Amino acid sequence: MSITKKAKSALISVFHKDGLAPIVQKLNELGVIIYSTGGTEDFIKKLGIKVVPVEDLTSYPSILGGRVKTLHPKVFGGILARRENEQDLAQLVEYSIPELDIVIVDLYPFEKTVASGADEQDIIEKIDIGGISLIRAAAKNFKDVICVSSMNQYDEFLQIMTNGNGATTLEDRKNFAAKSFAVSSHYDTAIFNYLNKNEIAFRESYNTSSILRYGENPHQKGYFFGNLDELFEKLHGKELSYNNLLDVDAALNLMSEFKNDDPTFAILKHNNACGLAQRNSLKQAYLDALAGDPTSAFGGVLISNKTIDIETAQEINSLFCEVVIAPSYTIEALKLLKSKKNRIILIQKEIELPQVQYRTALNGVLFQEKDNKTDDASVISTATKKEPSKEELNDLFFASKICKHTKSNTIVLVKNKQLFASGTGQTSRVDALEQSIAKAKHFKFDLNNAVMASDAFFPFPDCVEIAKNAGINAVIQPGGSIKDQLSIDYCDNNEMSMIFTGIRHFKH
């Protein structure tokens, strides 16, 4: 078996013709016989290059409205024949089947058709049958055939043809075979996820990937699979790191709770909000968010739900931060924020984030629906005799939104739509509360008439007692403990209001 093989023939059947002309011209220059079908055949003819219609090879026309063109033994025999196998070669001669050394395919755009909102019939017609079969056959026989399975590979293939004067190495062919099965598996995954309504199955595939500087730590390799360009317009700064991406993800999910609200600004560190405030002006929202924990804000991720103006940018510019995210920036604000070389500046685009979440665990994958429940007036019930005031109720909902996006166990303290402090990721709810109170006091916040949110129920009245002693008078929590009445009784005996949501928001 020869490791390096000179191509004598090629089958080309592609949807996208962009970038194809230089390849066809190079193959013609190298004396490669070109077989083709339909629109690709017409495209090659218009270039003034000789092409053999596949119908001439198979003696069958394209039938069923183009659904069947290449599905024929004379096509697949020429691809799958093992060149070192005498019996295979003899059968090629017996049935007048030419060896096909190159297969170039670009599949029907199934995913784009789904994304366009097309009706089901149009989508079904974009399920490629012949193309995917050609890819699998050519990739399987990589010892003898090179398979170009996407327009994204045209440039690399053309370079190989040019440098090798029409010859490919086994390494080239095997490399393109791997790319081919990546294309086919991704394609099948997209079709399955579109059609599947009932089967519980985990199928995910991403064609776009980025190599990160490293993972969580410098000794770990890191990659991102997905297309960040769909979500952001990057205006400035260094590349996003693994940890940046986790913080940015947390920031986007948190700010989605306040998307259409008054000016709101959040500062996040290690996936949790260390500052968040809502005000009449964005500048004041930023200043009050920063006041929540100016120490932790150092090196954090900043996000706004409104256009960042020059007044806000002037305040931001004095803080060392890794990332700034907003729907837009004024020209003056952007110029100022760009003055720091490595500061990452992003515009968030209007796209829907995934509605499912998954991560590796043990020897498998955990998969769940996204927590899309937001606590509001429609879900609450007042458990105590005392009703929260209108101002307290607004703060309770505000605190609950933050609590939902903070690592469990968590307690969040809020006053006048400003995050005073939170206890994050504690093994005890009492520890979370005491941490948040200590932090609020450290930054000189007055907790009198502040409100408290908890991500899960209180099994004992200790938390409400500690909160009352700190000056807190209103509480929001899911309820559901068999000992709820103990907390309710304490609140009733101490002029506190407490509302139940019936919805737990653990975030592990």
Nearest to 397 by CA among 296, 487, 499: 499
d(CA 268, CA 304): 11
Active-site residue 283, yes or no?
no
Q: Which of 17, 236, 270, 340 is catalytic?
A: 270
d(CA 156, CA 145): 16
Q: Which of 8, 140, 174, 340 is catalytic?
A: 140
Q: What share of the chain is helix, strand, coil (3-state, %, to 5)?
A: 40, 20, 40
Burial of 446 (0-12, 13-18, 19+ CB in 10 A): exposed
Contacts of 124 (CB under 8 A, 6+ apart): none
Contacts of 279 (CB under 8 A, 6+ apart): 262, 263, 285, 288, 417
Nearest to 270 by CA among 291, 242, 289: 242
Q: Token pair of 391, please?
A: 């101002």
Active-site residue 219, yes or no?
no
Nearest to 508 by CA among 437, 404, 400, 421: 404
d(CA 338, CA 408): 36
Positions marked catalytic: 140, 270
